[in-house]
């Protein structure tokens, strides 16, 4: 079968390998869709991920149909639609340096167990939407780390896939208000369509002033005369220094800042002024417990999640899909669908 592999620094190619087979404790999956993550471009630049550097099969955002079930496997049947915890495979991280990847027609799950590597998802959910399960779990982990309550008022910076997933995640927790900030009007329009209570263009509007209009005034801290938005949670899915500087200046007393985005540059932190606000920093990476928590919400609201996808490519055009996904400004969420 043909697979999409990183074969060297900056090089992705089609590579033929043997189709895997399932033993009595295993499940053979027919891949139906996989999303492209920003880390796929990083893996490509690195020349692959050890221990499979030079032969890393990509694809760690998959959805699949069960093609074969070993005699000893319980609770899983041929034809089931499943989402996948790519971090629990015995042969390494699926699509992230393990022996297999989701950009291949078939994947075998060794010693498969329902609720560990696999979870069923309704057949009503389109395959490429089901493939959002992994990145939406990342977004949901950030939501959970933020410890939202129904009374909380939230602002999310970045209306890309993770930011939009966080919007839906906060909404599933029943928070009072969720505002999306971005610099692209088309992204903000999508956020509004899927449930944002308000949107702010961070390029043309004063974010702090608009948050005061939307959320009201909150307790500023110990310095008198300051006016701060009554925003409880600042969620950074953008990864831009301007987001942090805006948050540092706007945060009310004991507001929460959750950083999900990755940063490559150093950001100066005004420790003195922040001390007076007792801003609570939170960090979120991966999905320790959220991989299947988000599945039910995707089932219930798949039409909203579908709006996160900007481009779809057939598997035969996977190399083109990777190019589009790695081109700045060319796309938001790109998925590959197996025909």
**Based on the domain organization, do 156 and 256 belong to the same domain?**
yes
Which of the two residues, 218 and 141, has the higher pLDDT score? 141
pLDDT tens, position by position, 178-217: 999 999 999 999 999 999 999 999 999 999 999 999 999 9
What's the CA gap between 45 and 39, in Å, rounded?
10
* Token duo for residue 309: 């996808």
Query: For the chain, what percent of residues have pLDDT higher than 90?
Result: 93
Torsion of CA 166, 170, 176, 182, to 10 degrees: 0
As a whole number, mean pLDDT of residues 113-120 equals 98
Kindly report the number of other CB atoms within 10 A of residue 74's CB atom: 8
**Based on the domain organization, do 166 and 264 belong to the same domain?**
yes
Query: For the chain, what percent of residues have pLDDT higher than 70?
Result: 99
User: Any idea which of 83-87, 94-98, 224-228, 235-239 has the lowest mean pLDDT?
Assistant: 224-228
As a whole number, mean pLDDT of residues 124-140 equals 98
**Based on the domain organization, do 47 and 105 belong to the same domain?**
yes
As a whole number, mean pLDDT of residues 96-109 equals 98
**What are the residues facing 312 on neighbouring strands?**
335
The count of structural domains within the chain is 2
The helix, strand and coil proportions of the chain, stated in percent and rounded to the nearest 5, come to 30, 25, 45
Q: At what angle do helices 161-172 and 185-193 cross, to 10 degrees?
A: 20
Nearest to 287 by CA among 142, 166, 156: 142
pLDDT at position 174, please? 96
pLDDT at position 328, please? 87
**Based on the domain organization, do 28 and 110 belong to the same domain?**
yes
Given a cut of 90, is residue 226 above it in pLDDT? Answer: no
As a whole number, mean pLDDT of residues 130-134 equals 98
**Based on the domain organization, do 151 and 100 belong to the same domain?**
no
pLDDT at position 219, please? 83
Nearest to 305 by CA among 146, 180, 128: 128
Give the domain CATH number at 271: 3.40.50.720
**Based on the domain organization, do 258 and 174 belong to the same domain?**
yes
pLDDT at position 339, please? 80
* Token duo for residue 161: 């896939």
Q: In terms of residue numbers, what domain contains 179?
A: 136-283
| Separation of CA 255 from chain center | 24
- Is residue 297 situated within a structural domain? no
Given a cut of 80, is residue 222 above it in pLDDT? Answer: no
**What are the residues facing 15 on neighbouring strands?**
3
**Based on the domain organization, do 120 and 7 belong to the same domain?**
yes
Question: Which pTM was predicted?
Answer: 0.94
As a whole number, mean pLDDT of residues 280-308 equals 96
What's the CA gap between 49 and 4, in Å, rounded?
14
**b/e per residue 34-60 (b: at least 16 CB within 10 A):** bbbbebbbebbebbbbeebbeebbbbb
**Based on the domain organization, do 140 and 279 belong to the same domain?**
yes
**Based on the domain organization, do 74 and 200 belong to the same domain?**
no
As a whole number, mean pLDDT of residues 157-171 equals 97
Q: Sorting pLDDT into bands at 50, 70 and 90, what band is 329?
A: confident
């Amino acid at each position: 079968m043909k697979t999409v592999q990183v074969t060297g620094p900056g090089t992705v190619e089609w590579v033929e390998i043997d189709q895997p087979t399932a033993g009595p404790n295993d499940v053979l999956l027919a891949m139906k869709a996989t999303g492209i993550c920003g880390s796929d471009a990083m893996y490509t630049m690195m020349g692959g991920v050890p221990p499979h550097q030079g032969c890393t099969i990509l694809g760690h955002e998959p959805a699949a149909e069960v093609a074969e079930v070993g005699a000893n496997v319980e609770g899983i049947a041929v034809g089931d639609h499943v989402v996948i915890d790519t971090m629990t495979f015995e042969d390494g991280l699926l699509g992230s340096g393990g022996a297999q990847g989701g950009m291949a027609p078939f994947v075998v799950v060794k010693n498969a167990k329902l609720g560990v590597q696999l979870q069923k998802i309704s057949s009503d959910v389109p395959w490429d939407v089901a493939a959002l399960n992994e990145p939406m779990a990342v977004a949901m982990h950030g939501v959970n780390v933020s410890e939202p309550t129904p009374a909380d008022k939230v602002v999310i910076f970045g209306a890309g896939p993770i930011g939009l997933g966080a919007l839906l995640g906060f909404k599933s927790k029943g928070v009072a208000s969720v505002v999306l900030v971005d610099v692209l009007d088309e992204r903000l329009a999508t956020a509004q369509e899927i449930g944002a209570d308000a949107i702010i263009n961070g390029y043309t509007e004063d974010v702090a002033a608009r948050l005061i209009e939307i959320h009201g005034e909150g307790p500023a801290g110990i310095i008198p005369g300051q006016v701060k938005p009554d925003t409880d949670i600042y969620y950074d899915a953008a990864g831009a220094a301007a987001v942090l500087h805006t948050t540092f200046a706007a945060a009310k007393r004991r507001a929460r800042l959750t950083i999900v985005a990755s940063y490559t540059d150093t950001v100066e932190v005004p420790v003195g002024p922040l001390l007076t606000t007792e801003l609570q920093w939170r960090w979120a990476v991966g999905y320790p417990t959220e991989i299947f928590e988000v599945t039910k919400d995707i089932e219930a609201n798949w039409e909203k999640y579908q709006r996160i996808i900007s481009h779809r490519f057939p598997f035969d055009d996977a190399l083109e899909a990777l190019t589009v996904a790695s081109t700045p400004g060319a796309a938001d969420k790109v998925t590959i669908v197996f025909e």
